[in-house]
Structures are given as structure tokens and as C-alpha cells.
Structure 1
Amino acid sequence: MTDILERLAEREGQGPINQPGAQDRGDDRALERFLKFVSPKFIRGPDPELAENWLERMINIFAALDYTEERRVNFAVFQFEGVARAWWDVIRGKWERAQTPWIWENFTREFNKKFLPPLIQEKMEDEFIKLRQGISSVAEYEGKFIKISKYAPELVTNERKRIKRFVQ
């Protein structure tokens, strides 16, 4: 009966009350749920598309899990290895000194600044501007159009502009 009540309380987000180690068990279960999604490790390769794909995957996982901001940051950096881990250690120290809140928005800003710098974003914007269907199918063209349109948001601010640019 106690186990059932514990599980029910955890589902409600309260966790078991007045029991030593209860918070740790909740964190362990949250980590288990996160790892079940087979979240990718991030090492930092030379390809910015890898960074972008990793971040999109993390965003999708966290949307499904509905975790707190701080837990999202902690679990995302749990996936860092090598150069990415070293970079995060520097950022963590900076955040601690400046008392920066551990929220997802701060994390993505730092991540994008490092792994998707403005030069790369400008390159992707140029690619979007020059995008043509060519020999691609309409579905392939649409996929590419949607994927890189985020680099030129001012060109697709509303549905009418988006359609015009797509047809163009």
C-alpha cells in the first residue's frame, strides 16, 4: 500500500514525504525516463548540423517528458562528452560566478553561440535565400524549405510571405 501511495505521489510531482532519499529516487526515476528515449551524446563535431540536430532531439525529448527548466539543463549536459563537456565546465563556472539561472533559454543561447555561431547562421540564411526545387521532389523541397526557413524568419513572417517564398 505504501509503494502504491509513493508512486501516486510521485506522479503528482510531490514525491514521497518525509522519507530519507526520496528526492534522489525521484531524480533517478526521471533520469531513467530520460535515458529510455535513447538521447544522443554530444561530442561536438565540425558539422553544425550535428549540433542543430542534437538540440532539436533534446527539445523533443523534454517536450515529451515535461521536465523543469533546471532538470532539462542538467540532463542535456549529462549527454556531453569530450570537447563539449570541457566547454560546459567553463560555462557552468561562468554561470555560478554570475548566478545565472539554470533555465533552458540560457542554455540554448550559450549552446547556439558556441556551436551555431552567427557566421554559420548567416550561411544558412543565404542557403535559404538561394534555395530552389531543382530536380528535388516537392516533398523533398518542402522539407528543406521548412528546415532552413528558421534562419531567415524575416522572410517568412506570415503565411502569405511563406507561400510566396515557397513558390518563388
Structure 2
Amino acid sequence: MAERWLEKMIDIFAALHYTKERQVTFAVFQLEGVARSWWNVVRLKWEREQTPRMWVNFMREFNAKYFLPLIQEKKEDEFIRFRQGTQTIAEYESQFTRLPKFAPELIMTEQRQIRRFVRGLNIEIQKDLAVAQLSAFSNAVEKAQRVESTRLQVRNFQAKKRAIPESRVEQEDKSIPPKFGRGTGGVRIPGISRVTSQGGSASASGGPCGYCGKANHTEDVCWKKARKCLHCGSADHQIANFPILLR
């Protein structure tokens, strides 16, 4: 019950962005019965010892009252060993803000909280944050999320690049007409008859070409005029960029 109450307070503080001082005031206002009597004793002690009215000090007193030392040690060890692993930054940050309630001394200052947060991040994200100026915990979380987003975009781009089907080249290969004879590019050209079995030259339907001057084809089917690949006839590339020649 005590742990659930403490987590509820922490969630409220995070949602309403309460200051450290206001957190104590709000939490104390929620105490009733025996818990309220306990707080009155703590308050008098704080006034006598001039203890700052800070949430970290409240948690220390609260833990000592409601949690056995063995439980506190176990939770403190869990927080020290806590790492991001397969979690997203948002998931990691949510867990990170809950665990320190049993070890407030580890995040007593803003800088100590930032250092421990960064230390638990995955190595690749830590590297990108190494040169960042992190003056506030919220700033550290935001920059970590930006790094995560950027790295995710890079991975997605690389995955799409690798996922380009190799069959694309194979399809282009299949689109190349079967070779025969020694005509232009050694391939079949629309409108040209096959080489005769006697080995004579091929007869074109209307050659020579009026555009390039080459034999065996006419101007209306001239690949050079249409700026097609002189190797395969494709309009998607020039012969200098023919896929097979680039292998």
C-alpha cells in the first residue's frame, strides 16, 4: 500500500511538473490518520535540525518508516543495475523515475540524476550524448529521444536499401532480347528480319537509318534517336549505365 501511494505521488508530480518543495507540500496534504501523526513528528524534527523541505528528504523518512531495510537494499540494487536494454527511451525513462524512490541519495542533485540516467542508456545512444550539454533531466530525456529517433530512421533507410529485390536486375536481364548475328549491339531490333541461315546480311524493313546512318534499321525505330540503351533498348538508362556491364 505504501509503495502504491508513493508511486501515485510520483506520477502526479511528473504530470503537473511540481517543484521539489511543492512535492512535499502536496504529499503531506494527502496523509491521513496514523500517517499524518507520523508526519507531524518528522516535521518537528526537520524544524529542529533545519532539514530542507525537499522531496528526497521526505522519501528517506518515508522509506525508513514503511519499508524494511532489506527491501530498500534490494530496490536500491535494482536501480543501480537498471539499464535500457530493449526498451524505448520513453519506457526506460518511465521505469527510471519510479525506481529511485528507494534510493533517493543516488539522484539527490539534478546532475547526479542526469549522469545515472545517461549511464543506463544503450552504448550507441550514450556516445551521441557524450558531447551534449545536459543542464536538466528533461533536457537529457528529450535529446536521448531525438538520438533514438534519428538512429531508427537510419536503420529503416538501410533496411529498405537492403530490401531492394535482387530480382530487379534479373527482370532487366530477362527483358533483353535474345542475341543473334552481328547486328547493332548484337541483339534483335524491332522491324529487322533474322539473319538468314546462309549467313547473309540481315535485310531491314526500310534502312539505312536517316538519323544515325547505321544499317539494319530505320529512323522511326532508331534507339539512338530515342535515347535508349544501345545494348538492350531500355529507355530507363544509357548503355554506359547498363546494369550487367556495371557488375
Return the TM-score normalized by structure 1.
Answer: 0.45
* Larger CA Rg, structure 1 vs 2: 2
Return the TM-score normalized by structure 2.
Answer: 0.32
- Counting helix residues as a fraction of each chain, which structure ranks higher? 1
The structure, 1 or 2, with the larger RCO (C-alpha pairs under 8 Å, 6+ apart) is 1
